[in-house]
Chain A
Amino acid sequence: MASISSIWLKYSAPVTFYPLAGKLVPWFSIAAALLFSLGLSISFFVAPTDFQQGEAYRIIFIHVPAAWMSMFIYLVMASYCALGLAFNTRLSHMMASALAPTGAMFTFIALWTGSFWGKPMWGAWWVWDARLTSELILLFLYIGFISLQAAIDNPVRRDKAGAVFLLVGVVNIPIVYFSVQWWNTLHQGASVNMTTAPTMAQTMFAGMLIMAAACWMYSIAVSLVRVRQLILERECRSAWVTDILETLK
């Protein structure tokens, strides 16, 4: 146990995490590239055509993983923020900031592909469905977090203000989700209910899981690259960063 916790503590310092992240980035990038090519080939060539929805259903292979990632990344950011507020670790806040653009991107992709899917299926680009609406609010929360952090110059305040906002948001998300569902069932009859859709073929499900894994690898790789930049920016006055910058010249 002691050795495990000491490893955690060791890599919670930016000076040791920076080179570790640098070593990990290529591995995660390669994994993402392999999984994406495998997942995309399954989703385009292997998975059978859906007998109800035709070829258009294939958008599920990016839509569902993106929606999963959008929610999951928000939770990961919130846990980093809670860690950062509790233990006052700079790196946790930096990780949260590094994840935010990726999370916002996946939320946007989920909305965008959702509307592309909705047009052939529901006959409308946008439906005020409970899930779509809460996803939209999630996008607003991501944008709020990013613009709040962009507006604050003092790094300590930026970290903590972002963390407080994110934690308030995470408390709010279940309330938003249930209120939207409540509102939706009152205002319109059941449109397309995806939870009672016919069970999925095995290959479809496998393709979706592989795509989700690819999105994971991509998110980890990108946020590690981003957190390295943030570390350099924040720690630019410390000796080890000056050394790194010297070697780059």
Chain B
Amino acid sequence: MRSVFFAVLARDLTLYLRRRSDILTALFFFAIITSLFAMGVGPEINKLRLIAPGVIWVAALLTSLLSLNRLFSSDCQDGTLEQFLLAPQSLSLLVLAKILAHWLVSGLPIILVAPALGLQFDLPAHSLWILVISLALGTPILGMVGAIGAALTLGLRGGNTLIALLVLPLYMPVLIFATSAVDASLSGQGVEAHLSLLAALLVFTLFFGPLAIAAALRVSQD
């Protein structure tokens, strides 16, 4: 059981690392969106600090959409996915390994870059920490929920825009809890409640997400 999990993880990581430029493109997309917001709103630093949590988080949501359509598509084309479905191991476990690999190359870089972008918006150090924690708790949820959308739209025409339409409304609770945590830290209130709710959401999606993704993948291969 465990060896299969790590085999899939290692395989996917190798594949992702062979195309490093994809990771960098996503990161620059993330940085560009946040600077666009700064230009749109104006250089006044007090206003920027106020909108920083929302801007950085919305940029993270949009960036996570970018790589979703590639999550299963090459596996679907070369037949790997069919082998996954036929494999004696549980499909949810294999899916979990794939999503972990995807998160390591798409979620983790965002978490590492976010503090630098937060500095551009003059977030204090304390809030930067909360931002990083909220991203660490939130981006795996984005990966899970996004994978459901990716599995449902696998191989469809116009799948890319469709993923956004399906997935973005489901992202909303994550956005709310995460930005509230950073907002609370900015205004000097307690952040534990928000972060606990986000963590609860993470546990919930970690449990039910793989089941829903496996169901969606089975549907797509009917």
| Residue ranges of A at the interface with B (Cβ–Cβ < 8 Å) | 137, 140-141, 143-144, 147-148, 151-152, 154, 156-157, 160-161, 164-165, 167-169, 171-172, 175-176, 179-180, 182-183, 186
Size of interface on B: residues with Cβ below 8 Å to A: 29
Nearest CB of chain B from residue A25's CB, rounded to whole Å? 32
Min Cβ gap A181→B in Å is: 10
Contact A171 B208 (CB under 8 A): yes
Bound-state CA distance A165–B216 (Å) is 8
- Give the distance to chain A from B74, nearest Cβ to Cβ, in Å: 20
Measured between beta carbons, the chain A residues less than 8 angstroms from B184 are: 186
Complex interface: chain B residues within 8 A of A179 (CB): 172-173, 176-177, 197
Q: Is the CB of A148 within 8 A of B222?
A: no
Report the Cα distance A74→B35, complex, angstroms.
Answer: 39
Residues on B with C-beta less than 8 A from A137 are 169, 172
A-B contacts counted at CB < 8 A amount to 72
Contacts of B64 in A (CB 8 A): none
Chain A, interface SS category: helix
Partner of B219, one of A164, A180, A186: A164
What residues of A have a CB within 8 angstroms of the CB of B159 in the complex? 151
Cβ of A225 to closest chain B Cβ, rounded Å: 27
Question: Which residue from chain A places its CB closest to the CB of B215 in the assembled complex?
Answer: A164
Beyond A147-B165, A148-B153, A186-B180, is A157–B170 a contact (Cβ under 8 Å)? no
Main secondary structure on B side of the interface with A: helix
Nearest CB of A to B110, in Å: 21
Q: Is the CB of B152 within 8 A of A161?
A: yes
- Flag if B156 contacts A152 (CB, 8 Å): yes
Contact residues in A for B153 (Cβ distance below 8 Å)? 148, 151
Taking CB atoms, residues of chain B closer than 8 Å to A154 are 222
CB-defined contacts of B165 to chain A, threshold 8 Å: 140, 143-144, 147
How far apart sit A154 and B222, CA to CA, in the bound complex (Å)? 9
Query: In the assembled complex, how far is the CB of residue B99 from the closest CB belonging to chain A, in whole angstroms?
Result: 15
24 sample A-B contacts, Cβ–Cβ < 8 Å, listed by A number: A137-B172, A143-B165, A144-B165, A148-B152, A148-B162, A151-B156, A151-B158, A152-B156, A154-B222, A156-B222, A157-B220, A161-B152, A161-B219, A164-B219, A165-B152, A168-B170, A168-B212, A176-B172, A179-B176, A179-B177, A179-B197, A182-B177, A182-B180, A183-B180
Contact yes or no, A172 B173, CB < 8 A: yes
